[in-house]
Amino acid sequence: MDLGTQRVKAVVLKDDVVVGRGQMFAGFDPAKATEQAVNDALKAANLSLLDVNHFTATGSAMDLAPHANNTVSMMGADAKAGVFLIPQARTVIDIGAEEARAVKCDARGLMMEFVVNERCAAGAGAFIEAMARALEVKLDDMGLLALKAERASPINASCVIFGESDVVSLIHRQESKPEIARAVFDAMADRISSMIHRLGINPEVVLVGGVAKDPGFVASLNRKLDLAVQIPEYPEYAGALGAALIAATRAKGASK
């Protein structure tokens, strides 16, 4: 179970194969939302709560997780999931709604070092959401808009408020929406790439989290890092998958 600030996710793992997934908005009651996500994942797997040997929770609200036998840090979960999904992975970048982090891991999926974006949404999905509102475009359209731009104007990504002010200034200067959208992603990629360089880039680099599904951000990050990041299927479930992998290991250990 991954209890994030905006969404909660659940993954059911059986014999090292994902057999069910579920997610819900966290809302005001993340524990209740997680319960529903777990039920949806179990339904997809044609299983019940009684069939589950071990529950592991991760995420910012992991202490609220129902059924949890134990918890694991998001960095530990990211490392485990990254190497499971892409065995050559040695750096895993996870960008969610309000936080970004990067993990250096070994061939076993064990975390070696990590860095976390400061407590500011400017380096996370909330930054894209705020800029989409300023541009009066749908969030899902931001990435495709940015891919149409041939250049980008610099904006301030140190703070959502400053960034939004810069976007409004660019609108008043009649910059095109594609160019402003690209500026948003380039600014965010600048912030993330500087964080990654502090950690040290160890190929292969894997990108997970909900923002990994945004083609505009992926293109900007690839340019800033001068490489092509690997993106697994269902990147938003990586945290929950890592927790499930750790749950499986602990369940096997308890059965011996």
Task: Give the H or E element holding residue 51.
Answer: none
Residues 122 and 5: their CA atoms lie apart, in Å, by: 15
Q: Is the pTM of this model over 0.75?
A: yes
CATH topology of domain 88-231: Nucleotidyltransferase; domain 5 (3.30.420)
Is 70 exceeded by the pLDDT of residue 255? no
Report pLDDT for 161.
58
Residues 53 and 183: their CA atoms lie apart, in Å, by: 47
Q: Which residues contact 239 (CB under 8 A, 6 or more apart)?
A: 2, 4, 9, 58, 59, 74, 77, 78, 81, 94, 208, 209
Report pLDDT for 214.
94
Structure tokens given for 179: 């160019």
Report pLDDT for 34.
98
Report pLDDT for 227.
94
Q: Which residues contact 85 (CB under 8 A, 6 or more apart)?
A: 206, 232, 233, 238, 241
Residues 141 and 243: their CA atoms lie apart, in Å, by: 32
Residues 81 and 77: their CA atoms lie apart, in Å, by: 6
pLDDT digits (tens, 9 = 90+) for 94-115: 998 778 999 999 999 999 999 9
pLDDT digits (tens, 9 = 90+) for 67-95: 999 999 999 999 999 999 999 999 999 99
pLDDT, mean of residues 223-243: 96
Report pLDDT for 224.
93
Backbone CA torsion sign across 223, 229, 232, 234? negative
Is 60 exceeded by the pLDDT of residue 144? yes
pLDDT, mean of residues 22-27: 96
Domain boundaries, the chain: 1-86+236-256, 88-231
CATH topology of domain 1-86+236-256: Nucleotidyltransferase; domain 5 (3.30.420)
Report pLDDT for 125.
79
Is 60 exceeded by the pLDDT of residue 164? yes
Report pLDDT for 114.
95
User: Which letter does DSSP use for residue 230 in this model?
Assistant: B
Q: Give me the chain's average pLDDT, please.
A: 90
- Residue 150 — pLDDT band, cuts 50, 70, 90? confident
Report pLDDT for 37.
98
Is 90 exceeded by the pLDDT of residue 123? no
Residues of the chain with pLDDT > 90, as a percent, come to 68
- Residue 49 — pLDDT band, cuts 50, 70, 90? very high
Residues 213 and 144: their CA atoms lie apart, in Å, by: 11
Is 70 exceeded by the pLDDT of residue 177? yes
- Residue 256 — pLDDT band, cuts 50, 70, 90? low
Report pLDDT for 157.
58
